[in-house]
Amino acid sequence: MKKIILTALSSLVLCASVQAQAEELIIYAEPITITVTDHGAKGYSIGDTVARNGPVYFQENGPAVGEYTTLAQITHLYKDRKGDARFYVMEINLPEGEIMTMNFTQIKSGGPTAIEGEKHRGVIVGGTGKYSGIKGTYELQIGANQKTKIVFKII
């Protein structure tokens, strides 16, 4: 029993240590191209997609250092809650490689696809170049004119 408790405590300390060592990378993104594709039944429905593409910056209003592409697809409609769930993937192309992310997010249904103040979180699923083998999480927040702040927590 003592061995199990010690193992559990060691795991908790290791997890806390890894969290403390997380590196933070902040980027800003601005959509230039937004493409909405109606795949399902006519109108707002399961299967519809929204793709975005535009420049990314290391500093708000700084020079562009790369670009991003996202794809969100409606996977569920919750009429009782007036919301939907979307599968969301993102690729960030930076000077030293790419970062790929993924999540499922719930938002208000039928309205604009990026509302100022809206946030969602997801996981970093991999990368290339400098970011090869990357792991961690991210939080994305929509700002004015759909400009977006993305905070990566890299472990």
Render pLDDT for 98-153 as a digit per residue (tens, 0 to 9): 999 999 988 776 655 677 888 889 999 999 999 999 999 999 998 888 899 999 99
Topology of the domain comprising 23-154: AOC barrel-like (2.40.480)
What residues contact 152, with CB distance under 8 A and at least 6 apart? 24, 25, 26, 27, 99, 124, 136, 137, 138
**Mean pLDDT, range 11-39, rounded to an integer:** 77
Q: What whole-number distance in Å separates Cα of residue 153 and Cα of residue 135?
A: 8
Q: What is the per-residue pLDDT across 38-71, written as a single tens digit (0 to 9) for each?
A: 887 888 788 999 999 999 999 998 999 999 999 9
Q: What is the per-residue pLDDT across 67-106, written as a single tens digit (0 to 9) for each?
A: 999 999 988 888 777 778 889 999 999 999 999 999 998 8
Q: Is the pLDDT of residue 8 over 70?
A: no
Model pTM score: 0.79
* Residue 151 amino acid letter: V
pLDDT value, residue 40? 77
pLDDT value, residue 127? 97
Task: Enumerate the domain spans of the chain.
Answer: 23-154
Which of 14-19's residues contact partners 24+ apart within 8 Å by CB, and which partners?
Answer: 18/155, 19/155
Q: What are phi and psi of 145, to 5 degrees?
A: 55, 30
pLDDT value, residue 56? 98
* 3 state SS of 66: strand
